[in-house]
Chain A
Amino acid sequence: GENVEQHPSTLSVQEGDSAVIKCTYSDSASNYFPWYKQELGKRPQLIIDIRSNVGEKKDQRIAVTLNKTAKHFSLHITETQPEDSAVYFCAASRNTGFQKLVFGTGTRLLVSP
């Protein structure tokens, strides 16, 4: 089955810096890659997603890149703000009748003012 690795497990940056989180996946048939942000005690919230037919997607300060050949994808957050502090999960999915998301282990991002 699919296995998703995520690095780093914790990331501390200063406000205004950029943050990059990287994930690798094992199943070459995976074709959907969402990123979720989870604040303490809250639900995971989708922040951006990408499908295997594109290499990059951007939404304001957030961007995701996908390298299908290397089987890795990354989340880039620019101009970080304290409210970006949360746990970020990447996920990969292969559509086989239903969408089974396999999550990475999570990255705890701390943005210091």
Chain B
Amino acid sequence: DTEVTQTPKHLVMGMTNKKSLKCEQHMGHRAMYWYKQKAKKPPELMFVYSYEKLSINESVPSRFSPECPNSSLLNLHLHALQPEDSALYLCASSQGDRETQYFGPGTRLLVL
């Protein structure tokens, strides 16, 4: 089973809101990732949790904050976002930190 689930599927939020995106996998994978994908562009890595250790893409602004409550869950907390943050947010997981990544269906975010 290569299933990664994400909720919600769609999210509309104002620039003053606080919201969270959720990702879950039950494949026993030990690495989980957040990507941002703008229309007609490739996914861009934001964060990696590998064996419960966080690695950050230093270009990601602090209004995005990841959280890994356990090895099968990954959250992305959103606060004071800008309209340019509107995008498809993809979660992925891999068995180890050097293995194939499998993507979830994504959350389509619109910031007004």
Contact = CB atoms under 8 A, between A and B. Distances in A.
Interface of A: 32, 34, 36, 42-46, 49, 89, 91, 95, 97-101, 103-106
Between A42, A99, A100, the greatest number of chain B beta carbons within 10 A of the residue's beta carbon is seen for A99
B24 to A, nearest CB: 14
B100 A44 contact: no
Given A44-B90, A104-B42, A97 B50 contact: yes
Given A100-B45, A101-B45, A43 B100 contact: no
B94 A44 contact: no
Given A89-B42, A105-B42, A43 B103 contact: yes
Interface in B2-53: 31, 40-45, 48, 50
Main secondary structure of the interface of A (DSSP, over half): strand
Nearest to B108: A41
Interface residues of B, number: 22
B55 A97 contact: yes
B50 to A, nearest CB: 4
B106 A43 contact: yes
A98 B50 contact: yes
A103 B43 CA distance: 7
A46 B45 contact: no
A82 to B, nearest CB: 21
A91 B43 CA distance: 10
Given A89-B42, A98-B31, A46 B102 contact: yes
Contact of A45 (B42, B50, B103): B103
